[in-house]
Amino acid sequence: MKKLGISGLATLAALILWAIPSSAAIRGNYVEVRTADVYTGPCFANSEVGVEGRRAILTWTINQGEWQGVNLNGLSVMAVVRAKDNLGDPYHNPYPAKAIVIVDQHANAAQRRALVNFVQTAGGPLVEHIVRVDRAPIKVDFGSGVHHGVVTVVAGNLARIQTRSLCAGDSICGNEELYYPPLTKVSHAMPAYTIEEAFNGAGLGAVWNQKGDRSAYIGTFQL
């Protein structure tokens, strides 16, 4: 093995430090809803492929941290996505997708830019093509806690999410499993029941109000 001299080690250390993002300490809570069941059995999933699951709403609530050197404590941001095929189906390519980003109305100009960049990093190909950025008062209520599945998200008159925990009556075929993983990198994700997911904004060529699906994930994130 070739040994590195002092200058080589210094260069390597500099490269490692450069590769570690300054935003590595950002953390918070995450909600995701889809227009297809994520907790389901193969029979239900197969019936939705090519028909449902092309749309999703993702919400990040930042409890603590900075992004691009900008403090984002207490702010929320949403991404509303419309893809060309079922999101999560390994046999079809859903991209390119279109995305709307809704930033917290309480964010200043620097925070808005940081929030959009954060979404681009966290969402990857889901939000590669942002067609519109809107501002709205985003209110997120995790009820009795992030791990109980009871969440309400309201972004002005643009988007709304309401979930509850799954219960025994939500198992229909008896073969349910976590059929699709979350769309982004999260920690401690748990499936939840979507009471309502609605999008009434512009830019995606579609609005929707969907109710009564096993289509949500609740979790935490850290980047």
How many C-beta atoms lie closer than 10 Å to residue 221's C-beta? 21
Residue 23 pLDDT greater than 50, yes or no: no
The answer as to whether 13 is a domain residue is no
What is the domain extent for residue 154?
A: 22-222
Residue 170: closest CA among 197, 184, 191: 191
pLDDT of residue 177: 62
Q: Give me the number of domains the chain comprises.
A: 1
Classify residue 3: in a domain, yes or no.
Answer: no
Q: What is the pLDDT of residue 25?
A: 77
pLDDT at 104: 98
Question: How many other C-beta atoms are found inside a 10 Å radius of the C-beta of residue 91?
Answer: 7
* Residue 65 tokens, joined: 């941290």
| Cβ 59 vs Cβ 76: under 8 Å | yes
Does residue 6 belong to any structural domain of this protein? no
Q: Would you say residue 8 lies in a domain?
A: no
Over the stretch 194-204, which tens digit does the pLDDT of each residue have?
A: 999 999 999 99
Residue 78 lies in a domain: yes
Residue 213 lies in a domain: yes
